[in-house]
Structure 1
């Protein structure tokens, strides 16, 4: 299934994308694409519904973030060896963890704000993993049973605040609009191997990132097992699994960063595409 949330900001309704690309309203069955609605029993019940029996959503509504009421937005740094190299950093021996604040979450096609005074706002296409079944001390051997599905994430990053102003990476990663998620939450059964997915990103039509999830340093089962030793994972938590090379910071001989008035477009095979316009923050 491809689950989604549609409607105005803060008033999104749960939906399902049918085989013809139409949005179907599932609000009679779940209140939101969030929390317990993402556990295996709930997803199985949804999958048993004939989409043609669900109300058709007319027009072309705004698509919101594909997961609502997110508790934790956990990110993995330097998880592609070639991205670590372009960043001038060593390949980590353990996963590098940081957070994006949930206030950064926005829809896949919403505007991305360049923060006031920023000259180093950057892009990062990433595979998102959405937790469906919570747990602690999860074994790597059954970690995938805890995955509800996958989505596209743009881990927008302000490099000065991330790397040059002391402290942790979090403050450069969590500005408002720095977490476009979606368009769809694609359930785990639809993706044969999440470690064989092409992912890409363009700015103003120029392809900067062109990678594949097979080059991850730490794969999804290892990440889930590791994270579940640090914290309990809960339904609706999101793990952003790192980015391949081609970020603006790593471009030679001179880094390239975003400015207002540009268009980002990005996608992952089988998971859909995003498109964001950059605007100056008020």
Structure 2
């Protein structure tokens, strides 16, 4: 048996998977049926296995349920169809345009830090300014940005608002677990929650007076720096790898931080 066929043989019924995604999204059968332009009876038959959905039906339901592309391929396999979405390695020739776009974004953001991560928060690429955050951190931690940030041997001792930043990152990861149902991400969340933290970690992000974002407050060689970040993704991905890439760019939140980063970059040159 080929790998694809073996995976399909181990897969649970497509109706069961669709029902789980519908429950996860907290959508009723009626609302999903209306959105997908099918009858509630037909959808019920699909979910219980009494009716086998067509390829188009699987894709339509996956799109209406906002199922990640990787999981839409698994839905198709469970229904007996070939995957619809490619999954190219970033180094493949077909990904040249993607690599160029990523490098352009990273280089254009200098002298401020920016990094690219995949769906498991593993570091894919970064610009030189990221060295400000990860310089001196053990190499085995830098492969995953969440471990690099929250591990006591990583950035954590230098983050002066660690409790606040930790709550922000764990909240993002928790929402990603809810969105994707990825067991690997759930394991990562459990691991990160076990890391020690010597600051109070708020359960809910409640802004204080004048707050407009959660800052990252980082002490670098005795200088206190403050950042905010933005997150970018590819707008119309049809490839699993591209859909899962995230570019996080950090900006100085005050004039002193901006000046420090400019002077640091000039000194390197």
User: Quick check: TM above 0.5?
Assistant: no
Using CA pairs under 8 Å that are at least 6 residues apart, name the structure with larger relative contact order, 1 or 2. Answer: 1
TM-score (norm 2): 0.25
TM-score (norm 1): 0.24
